[in-house]
Amino acid sequence: MKKLFILPALLVLIQCSPTPVQQDLINYINVEMPKVATLESEALEAYESISGANYQNDSTMYYTITETVLPKYEEFYALLKDIKPATEDVNQLHAKYLQAAEDQLQAFKLILDAIEKQDPQIIIAANKDLAEGRALLTTWRASLDSACAKHQVVFTSDEEK
DSSP class per residue in 100-127: HHHHHHHHHHHHHHHHHHT-HHHHHHHH
Q: Average pLDDT by consecutive 10-residue portion of the chain (161 residues)?
A: 44 63 94 95 97 96 98 98 97 96 96 96 94 94 94 69 42
Q: What CATH number did the domain enclosing 146 receive?
A: 1.20.1420
- pTM assigned to the model: 0.84
Rounded alpha-carbon distances, angstroms, from residue 109 to 1, 15, 66, 86, 114: 18, 45, 9, 32, 9
Domain count of the chain? 1
**Residue 19 C-beta-side C-alpha neighbours within 13 Å:** 11
pLDDT at position 158, please? 54
In angstroms, how far is the first alpha carbon of the chain from the final one? Answer: 25
> Residue 87 and residue 61: Cα distance in Å, rounded?
40
In-domain check, residue 149: yes
Q: Residue 2 domain-assigned?
A: no
Domain contains 4: no
The boundaries of the domain holding residue 91 are 10-160
